[in-house]
């Protein structure tokens, strides 16, 4: 851990060259980084898209205070404060496999032997690009999240540090979930995780991913990306629980692409970070494709959680269903800007989006902006947004029956989230989110 590059902060040309020199990766990967770095530098001369960013206050963010990770770590996965409990280090813990990264370096990776025998790949992106580059190259940043989309995607594509790959061959069904952990332990470090999931035709899998910090006080930065590529008739359930400490900045560009009759159920938990902005897209590319997005966010103190979601229907008979539920307290702010886009070819689209916000304090703020852009003429697209404070009568009713104010609040918040828990098929995720909510309310451990 004594490389001189480790002390180069920021993301300028010098830092990029120093970072590149530490990488042991195929030439085409380095070329992709160089091209992306050029795009990133160009993008710095242009303002961020105001439609997406104008409500996100970045004035206190200073990228130059951080240095890119991915070099070395001495922190084991078990030191991370995870929501799902201890990091599963063996396949006996209810998961078919697990991968963990700390400061952009893989610290654990295992997969059940019978899945390896079936051709499943699950592990660290850096290693799998060296050993199975032929399988990954056609998919990496070419279909779902392309480097040139915006500043964040270019920044990530130049400086990505590692990440989890799941590749499931044709008609292979994985019954048990897989687990991925992204951790930050060293102060002022940038994690650039790239999650790449490829399900071939007819494949099925569930991946639970979690982000966590080793301390509550160290500043961190995540510039990440998620690509979920769901083949024909394939079925993917993907969960990402963002649980950084409240000193961490989280920027992510995430996209799912669903082919004919494929199905993607995507659940997002937004609990941690100082400020998070997630650009989340679902592309319904094949006839009959289905995408469901569930969002559970709970922001407290002075957290800002921002979501820019797009459901893009590109083929006929496609279905999308998005539901985000936000709870806010103190001076927290949640921003949700959602869009359903329907291409001319996407007749018989069924699109839905909804955002509900529950405000627990007078100083919190929720901005909900749903939108539709429809070019086809035979579709059903609906959207809605609600925001409201906790009803004082409900609290009084509960307290009159012997509950404390905390218990009453907990019951109301749980009830608010219940509509979304019911949609999440994975029991461990329901329990984990419920526990995280208790901790946020100050009544759990």
Q: Which is nearer to other proteins, 294 or 304 (CB)?
A: 304
Q: Which of these, 393, 401, 331, lies nearest to 360 by C-alpha position?
A: 331
For the CB of residue 12, give the shortest distance to other proteins in the complex, in Å.
Answer: 22
The contact pattern for other proteins, residues 210-249, with x = CB under 8 A and - = no contact, is ----------------------------------------
For the CB of residue 60, give the shortest distance to other proteins in the complex, in Å.
Answer: 5
For the CB of residue 305, give the shortest distance to other proteins in the complex, in Å.
Answer: 13
For the CB of residue 362, give the shortest distance to other proteins in the complex, in Å.
Answer: 9
Q: Which is nearer to other proteins, 63 or 403 (CB)?
A: 63
Q: Which is nearer to other proteins, 34 or 54 (CB)?
A: 54
For the CB of residue 365, give the shortest distance to other proteins in the complex, in Å.
Answer: 6
Listed ranges 54-62, 165-173, 276-284, 406-414: which one lies at the site for other proteins (CB under 8 A): 54-62
Q: Which is nearer to other proteins, 59 or 401 (CB)?
A: 59
Give the one residue of 333, 337, 354, 383 binding other proteins; rule: CB under 8 A.
Answer: 333
For the CB of residue 201, give the shortest distance to other proteins in the complex, in Å.
Answer: 46
In what side-by-side order are the strands of the sheet with 263-270? 105-111, 97-102, 178-184, 204-213, 235-243, 263-270, 290-299, 319-328, 350-359, 380-389
Using CB under 8 A as the binding rule, the residues of this chain from 60 to 119 that contact other proteins are 60
Give the one residue of 45, 59, 117, 392 binding other proteins; rule: CB under 8 A.
Answer: 59
Q: Which is nearer to other proteins, 61 or 352 (CB)?
A: 61
Using CB under 8 A as the binding rule, the residues of this chain from 152 to 181 that contact other proteins are none
Q: Which is nearer to other proteins, 40 or 53 (CB)?
A: 53
For the CB of residue 187, give the shortest distance to other proteins in the complex, in Å.
Answer: 16
The contact pattern for other proteins, residues 265-294, with x = CB under 8 A and - = no contact, is ---------x--------------------
Q: Determine if 365 is a binding residue for other proteins (CB under 8 A).
A: yes
Tokens of 100: 């963990």
For the CB of residue 59, give the shortest distance to other proteins in the complex, in Å.
Answer: 5
* Phi (first) and psi of residue 21, to 5 degrees: -65, -20
Q: Which of these, 110, 117, 119, 118, lies nearest to 92 by C-alpha position?
A: 110
Q: Which is nearer to other proteins, 60 or 113 (CB)?
A: 60
Q: Which is nearer to other proteins, 307 or 421 (CB)?
A: 307
Give the one residue of 14, 31, 42, 57 binding other proteins; rule: CB under 8 A.
Answer: 57
> Which residues lie across from 341 on neighbouring strands?
312, 373
Q: Which is nearer to other proteins, 272 or 288 (CB)?
A: 272
Listed ranges 34-42, 52-60, 129-137, 198-206: which one lies at the site for other proteins (CB under 8 A): 52-60
Contacts with 413 (C-beta within 8 Å, 6 or more apart), sequence order = 327, 358, 360, 437, 441
Give the one residue of 137, 139, 302, 423 binding other proteins; rule: CB under 8 A.
Answer: 302
Give the one residue of 34, 54, 380, 389 binding other proteins; rule: CB under 8 A.
Answer: 54
d(CA 285, CA 314): 5
Q: Which is nearer to other proteins, 369 or 411 (CB)?
A: 369
Binding site for other proteins (CB under 8 A): 54-55, 57, 59-60, 274, 302, 333, 365, 367
């Amino acid at each position: 851990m004594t490389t001189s590059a480790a002390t180069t902060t920021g993301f300028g040309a010098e830092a990029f060259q120093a970072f590149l020199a530490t990488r042991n990766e195929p030439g085409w990967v380095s070329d992709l980084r160089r091209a992306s770095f050029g795009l990133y530098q160009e993008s710095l001369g242009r303002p961020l898209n105001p439609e997406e960013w104008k409500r996100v206050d970045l004035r206190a963010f200073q990228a130059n205070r951080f240095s890119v990770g991915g070099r070395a770590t001495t922190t084991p996965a078990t030191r991370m404060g995870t929501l799902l409990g201890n990091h599963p280090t063996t396949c006996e813990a209810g998961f078919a496999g697990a991968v963990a990264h700390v400061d952009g370096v893989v610290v654990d990776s295992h997969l059940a032997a019978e899945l390896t025998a079936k051709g499943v790949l699950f592990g660290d992106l850096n290693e799998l690009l060296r050993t199975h580059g032929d399988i990954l190259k056609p998919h990496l940043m070419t279909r779902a999240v392309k480097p040139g989309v915006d500043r964040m995607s270019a920044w990530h594509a130049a400086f990505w540090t590692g990440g989890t790959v799941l590749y499931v061959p044709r008609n292979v069904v994985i019954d048990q979930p897989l687990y991925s952990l992204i951790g930050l332990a060293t102060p002022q470090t940038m994690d650039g995780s790239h999650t790449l999931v490829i399900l071939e035709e007819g494949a099925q899998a569930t991946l639970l991913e979690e982000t966590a910090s080793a301390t509550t006080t160290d500043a961190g930065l995540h510039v990440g990306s998620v690509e979920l590529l769901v083949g024909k008739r394939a079925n993917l359930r993907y969960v990402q629980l963002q649980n950084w400490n409240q000193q961490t900045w989280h920027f992510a560009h995430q996209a799912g692409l669903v082919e004919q009759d494929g199905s993607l159920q995507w659940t997002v938990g937004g609990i941690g970070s100082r400020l998070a902005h997630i650009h989340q897209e679902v592309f319904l590319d094949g006839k009959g494709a289905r995408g469901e997005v569930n969002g559970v966010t709970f922001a407290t103190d002075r957290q800002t959680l921002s979501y820019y979601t797009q459901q893009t229907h590109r083929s006929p008979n496609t279905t999308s269903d998005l539901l985000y539920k936000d709870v806010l307290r103190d001076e927290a702010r949640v921003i949700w800007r959602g869009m359903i886009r329907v291409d001319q070819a996407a007749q018989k689209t069924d699109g839905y989006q909804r955002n509900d916000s529950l405000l627990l304090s007078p100083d919190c703020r929720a901005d909900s902006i749903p939108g539709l852009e429809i070019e086809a003429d035979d579709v059903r697209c609906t959207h809605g947004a609600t925001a409201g404070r906790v009803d004082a009568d409900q609290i009084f009713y509960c307290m009159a029956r012997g509950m404390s104010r905390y218990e009453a609040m907990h019951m109301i918040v749980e009830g608010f989230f219940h509509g979304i828990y019911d949609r999440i098929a994975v029991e461990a995720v329901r329990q984990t989110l419920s526990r995280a909510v208790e901790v946020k309310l100050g009544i759990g451990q």
